[in-house]
Structure 1
Amino acid sequence: MLTNRFSTSDLPVRDRFTWWRDITVSTLIPTVLASDHADDFHATAEVLDLGGGQVTTMTYLPVTCVRTPKLIRQSDPDYYQLSLTVRGDMGLSQARRHTAFRAGDLMLYDSSQPFEGWASCDGGAVVHVVAQFPKAVVPLPRRLVDRLVATRITADHGFADLLARLLRQVSTSPEHYGTDDVDHVLTVLLDLLAATVAHRLDQVGTLNRENRQHAASLRVRAFIQHHLGDPRLTPGQVAAAHHMSLRSLQRLFADLGTTPAAYIRRQRLEGARRDLVAPAFVARPIHVVAAHWGFSHPAHFTRAFRAAYGVTPREYRETAAGGVVSERRA
């Protein structure tokens, strides 16, 4: 994934705030910035190119910003911006709404409407992640999305939680995504945003079937990932937890080319395989690693591991440091 990094650290102190203001104009949207720390400003930005959009992680000292009608007339990309507050407090006034946001909250704002914003952090720098994309690519009517502009979206459950997790994952581990993943990441982000908006407004019927299926698949897979350590986890329990029939769950996974049981087994094996060679777990007994990932019987774990990777867990642990062990293909 194409990444551009910017930092004030290599600039003369007197030039830093002006330079940062120019960076935010070129990478985000034009605003008027001000800061009580302008004389000794510190900031960094990392911009990830998603083709039809971008994700920017910013760390900076407290600021205020204003997007005026004049700036909108001069330049308006017709974007939505979705912000995840990671550290500090933020506020936004737009569309006659005035809202404060805390760490962990999501907020949505509109490049085509004037706004005023502020960001602060007691004794340190603000950190937030901003996803930016054209309004036209959001798979929901604009009138619905606009109802959540400048409102606090708590990201502690449901689709908002998945959306916040995706932003954190992409921003902290961009090296996990290659050039071929760019379009897929943007699609998942937009589907999760649409699902979040639709559920917050009780307008799930506005999602098309493909959006609903994709969002349901993401939610189910996140649930499975969270419960892999429970050896009692079964496809039936997953279906019941999401108020769907077992047949509906099977259809979701058929679209992924697998079955619910096979997906659970594969995720457990992949988690165990990573832990077997992780430096932090080098002294952890193999049966403990297996139990952590939901394998209650060591012999069964050994058989499943050998079937998947062609070697036993012990052989994998002993040889992985000296070479790559390939996954066995059926």
Structure 2
Amino acid sequence: MRGGLRLSASRPVCGRGAPRTCLPRRWAPLPERAVRALAARPVPTRAGAGALLGRYLEQLAEQTGEDWPEADAARLGSAALDLATVLLGGLARADGLLAPESRQSVLRLRVKAFIRENLGSPGLTPRAIADAHGISVRHLHQLFREEDRSVSAPVRSSRLERCLADLGEPGLAHLPVAAVGARWGFTDPAAFSRAFKAAYGSPPGDCRRRRLALRRSGTRGPDGS
């Protein structure tokens, strides 16, 4: 990004230049002292997470005229937030601004970002996640034990959320239900159907028919779809 990025202690995290992009302070997963230490400091955008975030925001800005489906727009925003989280956490960690518990929180956020970015991969196993972050599987499970759930829980719930969104998209109505599940890592159609029904109360095929009917009628369901 031509103007770089700066972090303000009282205002959002912003990209200075064209376009101007802001991240609300409450979304920066850092303790106050880390925010103040990084405030108004230029963030490097030539390599690493800074470069990824800068290029991603510039590419988004070039697509401002696109009419993104609501679900896709939410995913694009989530990806930007994930990149910003990794960038800011890495800067604070490199400067020794994070207490041990804060480092664990940032690592957990990095793991969750990695999970969201790789949901479509059937090989998204605890071992693969741990290896990608240079930690043991035991350490990985400890990260999520603090949230009283296993590492598999966010993988499954995020995959099901993506499937739910896709089942309500008219542009994807040509895809078989099993193909929608496979897009997000559910390689076994029967297992996908069981997991979906357990989460949402009806099989994916029934859910798709209901959501598409609501879209055609211009009304919204209880989940806002």
Q: Which one of 149, 164, 182 corresponds to residue 41 of structure 2?
A: 149
Against the structure 1 CA distance between its residues 189 and 228, is the aligned structure 2 distance closer, same or farther, given a 3 Å change threshold?
A: closer
Decide whether the 8 Å contact of 1:107 with 1:153 is kept in 2: no
Q: Relative to total residues, which structure has the larger strand share, 1 or 2? A: 1
What does residue 168 of structure 2 align with?
Answer: 277
1:218-297 residue pairs with structure 2 within 5 A? 218-297=109-188
What does residue 318 of structure 1 align with?
Answer: 209
Deviations 1:253-283 (A, max 9, x none): 1233321112211111111111011122122
Compute the RMSD of aligned alpha carbons.
4.0
What does residue 306 of structure 1 align with?
Answer: 197
**Cα distance in 1 for residues equivalent to 2:154 and 2:165:** 17
1:66-215 residue pairs with structure 2 within 5 A? 85=1, 89=2, 101=3, 105-108=4-7, 126-130=18-22, 138-140=32-34, 145=38, 149-150=41-42, 152-154=43-45, 157-158=48-49, 195-199=89-93, 202-203=94-95, 205-215=96-106
Secondary structure at the aligned position of 2:186 is classed as coil
Secondary structure at the aligned position of 1:149 is classed as coil
Q: Aligned-pair distance for 1:318?
A: 1.2
Large movers: runs of 4+ above 3 Å: 107-111, 130-133, 155-166, 188-194, 321-326
Rg larger in structure:
1
Structure 1, unaligned stretches of length 5 or more?
1-84, 90-100, 112-117, 120-125, 177-187
**Cα distance in 2 for residues equivalent to 1:228 and 1:190:** 19
Secondary structure at the aligned position of 1:259 is classed as coil
Q: Aligned-pair distance for 1:206?
A: 3.2
**Cα distance in 2 for residues equivalent to 1:241 and 1:193:** 16
Against the structure 1 CA distance between its residues 162 and 243, is the aligned structure 2 distance closer, same or farther, given a 3 Å change threshold?
A: farther
**Cα distance in 1 for residues equivalent to 2:45 and 2:101:** 25
Against the structure 1 CA distance between its residues 265 and 193, is the aligned structure 2 distance closer, same or farther, given a 3 Å change threshold?
A: closer
Against the structure 1 CA distance between its residues 109 and 164, is the aligned structure 2 distance closer, same or farther, given a 3 Å change threshold?
A: farther
Deviations 1:129-164 (A, max 9, x none): 24576xxx733285x537x824x5217644885799
Q: Taking structure 1 as the reference length, what is the TM-score of the superposition?
A: 0.47
Secondary structure at the aligned position of 2:193 is classed as helix
Secondary structure at the aligned position of 1:139 is classed as helix
What does residue 82 of structure 1 align with?
Answer: none
Decide whether the 8 Å contact of 1:229 with 1:291 is kept in 2: yes
**Cα distance in 2 for residues equivalent to 1:249 and 1:275:** 29
Decide whether the 8 Å contact of 2:167 with 2:173 is kept in 1: yes
Aligned-residue identity in percent: 35
Secondary structure at the aligned position of 1:269 is classed as helix
**Cα distance in 2 for residues equivalent to 1:132 and 1:309:** 32
Decide whether the 8 Å contact of 1:138 with 1:194 is kept in 2: no
Deviations 1:30-68 (A, max 9, x none): xxxxxxxxxxxxxxxxxxxxxxxxxxxxxxxxxxxxxxx
Equivalent residues, number? 188
**Cα distance in 1 for residues equivalent to 2:204 and 2:35:** 51
Q: Aligned-pair distance for 1:107?
A: 3.5
Q: Taking structure 2 as the reference length, what is the TM-score of the superposition?
A: 0.66
Letter in 2 for 1:258: R
Q: Relative to total residues, which structure has the larger helix share, 1 or 2? A: 2
Decide whether the 8 Å contact of 2:49 with 2:86 is kept in 1: no
